[in-house]
Chains A and B, each alone.
Chain A
Amino acid sequence: MMRRVLIGVAAFGLLLAACAEENPVIAPTGTGTPPATAADCAAGVTTYVNPDTLTVGTDNPAFPPYFAGGETKENPDWEFNDPNTGKGFEAAVAYEVAARMGFTSDQVDWVVAPFNQTYKPGPKHYDFAIEQISYTEKRAQAVDFSESYYDVNQALVAVKGTPITKTSGIADLKDYTLAAQIGTTNYDFIANTIQPSEEPGVYNSTADAVAAINAGQVDGLVVDLPTALFLADPFVQEVKKGVVVGQFANLSGEHFGITFEKSNPLVGCVNLALQEMKADGTLESITQVWLSEKTNVGEVPVLS
């Protein structure tokens, strides 16, 4: 009896082992001389999630100013903003990258990729994700990052007329209750650079943090500058009577990168596309249109 059980266990194990057989590794084609353009590079890649389609992931809802087109009837699953419209900073960057790699806008497919699932191990259901993910050395152990498509400064949002709006430097911020979204570099910045005497609040989403400042539970929010300008926008007023107190100098070289499954050969192609976009000024003009003109980045004082 015992032996039969053992044989059963062993057979079951072997069956599982057979199922877990390693997938054949697909080597990127065109080894030898590196491809000169993003289009050449992308044409040589065979590992797309769906053939002849560039599948792009981002979080849902997709927030302004990174996504803008509003809700659409064609894609009702996207809340607030449908990335398929191509409007908003990150949507525009993604479509431009896709174009450089030889995809028409019809060949770009958007899928929902929540932030905290972009780095789980295993295959991804998108070719790359673009959702304001800041590069850090540790994060780069879990996913591959593209080059920077936006060098991001952090900023402080508060309510007009409150004492915190009078501060002029990081040292003055120690005595206030600050909050950020969980897992963001914004939280790291509060905890490690500002080092407030009061423990910072950690919210599961930016929306929760906004609710907290509107309810007077915290004095200020630390978010990235474009988000800050959106939250305090006089016409949007996500934060009631909100103002951007200031931005913090980007000393650590923080930047957003497009993320990929580890060792996805597309990284090189997207980097080529970004380099082309930087060289001919396209990235600069996309940034101008969707971030600077819409949100007046230049006018925010720097707190140091």
Chain B
Amino acid sequence: MAYSRSDAPDSGTIVPGGPVPPGSERRSRLLEPLRQEGAKGVMVAVVSTAVFFGLIGWLVLRSPNWPEVKQLFFNGQEFRDTFPSIAQKFLRNIQYFMIGEVFILAYALFLAVLRSLPGSVFFPLRLLSIMYTDLFRGIPTILVIYLLAFGVPSLDIPGAPTSPTFWAIVGLVLSYSAYVSEVYRAGIESVHPSQIAAARALGLSRWQSLRFVVIPQAVRRVAPPLLNDFVALQKDTALVAFVVVVPEAFKMAQIHQNADFNFTPLLAAALLFLLITVPLTRVVDWMIARERARRQGGGVV
């Protein structure tokens, strides 16, 4: 019954002699070789790191165009001048991915459930879900955004929103749902059939066993990859810049870039994205490590 362990509430406890405590796992992979080789290993690592990055730095700094590149890409004054306005527009990006993520999570779960419906009678729904996923995973996200943002408002449907921003976010939702539904599906399929058999034996209906037994386990298992897609979504809100009229962070950076003939504002925008995505990526790493610890813990029992 190893699989049922993943539901156990004592996920934080560590089995003696079992896996390393959660969180320390990743770090150990980076540093473990050093520990094994001792002092000599540490010294070699320090020297090789210094040589490696020193060489890269030396190559960049003595390249013939470096003073020009520094002026155009790493301009402190330009950074100070433009960062506040770009940061202000970054609030829009945050808004885009918060709104988008809510719809993506709900819609993708719906798609995944459609695809995992059993029996011949649901064949058309399964087919529809598969076709949808193939279609939107197969088209570049930027194309979906372009087609929707320029196409739908031109249709002039009475009552339909004409804002390119609205349709750009719809494009993100449609495209990302296709990926996220596959993540959900992996989670749903990872739940052992005996779980469903047990639920049915307890008298739960097909729908109830999906709702109360399969999906809770599935979602918990795929939480790290879901968060991973969330990180990707944050970055892709910059794609909205290609169609929107009111500037978000990337577009604001482009405005400064073209007005001042300087690329530093793009770096400012990149930094803003990093401020959000790097901490979140660490959270994902931590969650994956915790999940692995829990599973291995289950295996020992």
Q: Is the CB of A121 within 8 A of B65?
A: yes
With A17-B62, A136-B260, A141-B262 in contact, is A262–B246 under 8 Å at CB? no
* Selected interface stretch from B50-58, B94-102, B120-128, B200-208: B50-58
Q: Is the CB of A179 within 8 A of B245?
A: yes
Q: Is the CB of A183 within 8 A of B64?
A: no
Q: Is the CB of A183 within 8 A of B71?
A: no
Q: Within the complex, what minimum Cβ distance (angstroms) separates A125 from chain B? A: 16
Q: Is A119 among interface residues, defined by CB-CB distance under 8 A? A: yes
Q: Which residue of B lies closest to A185 (CB)?
A: B259
Kindly identify, within residues 173 to 219 of chain A, every residue whose CB is under 8 Å from any CB belonging to chain B: 179, 182-185, 187-188, 199, 201-204, 212, 215, 217
Alpha-carbon gap, A182 to B263, bound state (A): 15
| Residue from A2, A9, A120, A179 within 8 A of B52 (CB atoms) | A9
Residues of A within 8 A of B290 (CB): none
Number of A residues near B (Cβ < 8 Å) is 40
Alpha-carbon gap, A9 to B153, bound state (A): 55
Q: Is B247 among interface residues, defined by CB-CB distance under 8 A? A: yes
Q: Is A116 among interface residues, defined by CB-CB distance under 8 A? A: yes
> What is the 8 Å Cβ interface bit string for chain A, positions 118-146, against chain B (1 contact, 0 not)?
01111000000000000010110111000
Residues of A within 8 A of B260 (CB): 136, 138-139, 142
> What is the 8 Å Cβ interface bit string for chain A, positions 16-58, against chain B (1 contact, 0 not)?
1100111100000000000000000000000000000000000
Alpha-carbon gap, A199 to B257, bound state (A): 19
With A9-B55, A16-B59, A23-B64 in contact, is A182–B245 under 8 Å at CB? no
Q: Is A115 among interface residues, defined by CB-CB distance under 8 A? A: yes
Q: Is B63 among interface residues, defined by CB-CB distance under 8 A? A: yes
Residues of A within 8 A of B259 (CB): 136, 138, 183-185, 187-188
Residues of B within 8 A of A23 (CB): 64
Q: Within the complex, what minimum Cβ distance (angstroms) separates A123 from chain B? A: 9
Residues of B within 8 A of A122 (CB): 65, 68
Q: Is the CB of A183 within 8 A of B257?
A: yes
| Residue from A22, A142, A179, A182 within 8 A of B64 (CB atoms) | A22
**Which applies to chain B's interface (DSSP): helix, strand, loop or mixed?**
helix
Number of B residues near A (Cβ < 8 Å) is 35
Q: Is A6 among interface residues, defined by CB-CB distance under 8 A? A: yes
Alpha-carbon gap, A202 to B241, bound state (A): 10
Q: Is the CB of A13 within 8 A of B162?
A: no
Q: Is B251 among interface residues, defined by CB-CB distance under 8 A? A: yes
Q: Within the complex, what minimum Cβ distance (angstroms) separates B224 from chain A? A: 33
Q: Within the complex, what minimum Cβ distance (angstroms) separates B18 from chain A? A: 33
Alpha-carbon gap, A138 to B264, bound state (A): 12
Q: Which residue of A lies closest to B251 (CB)?
A: A202
Q: Within the complex, what minimum Cβ distance (angstroms) separates B269 from chain A? A: 14
Q: Is the CB of A142 within 8 A of B251?
A: no
Q: Is A302 among interface residues, defined by CB-CB distance under 8 A? A: no
Residues of A within 8 A of B59 (CB): 13, 16-17, 20
Q: Is the CB of B71 within 8 A of A201?
A: no
Q: Is A236 among interface residues, defined by CB-CB distance under 8 A? A: no
Q: Is the CB of A121 within 8 A of B69?
A: yes
Residues of A within 8 A of B242 (CB): 204
Residues of B within 8 A of A183 (CB): 254-255, 257-259
Using a CB–CB cutoff of 8 Å, the interface residues on chain B facing chain A are 44, 47-48, 51-52, 55-56, 58-59, 62-65, 68-69, 71-73, 78, 153, 162, 242, 245-247, 251, 254-255, 257-263
Q: List 28 A-B contacts (CB under 8 A).
A: A2-B44, A9-B52, A9-B55, A16-B59, A17-B62, A20-B64, A120-B72, A121-B65, A121-B68, A121-B69, A121-B73, A122-B68, A136-B259, A138-B78, A138-B259, A138-B262, A141-B261, A141-B262, A142-B72, A143-B261, A179-B245, A183-B254, A184-B259, A188-B259, A201-B245, A201-B246, A212-B245, A217-B245
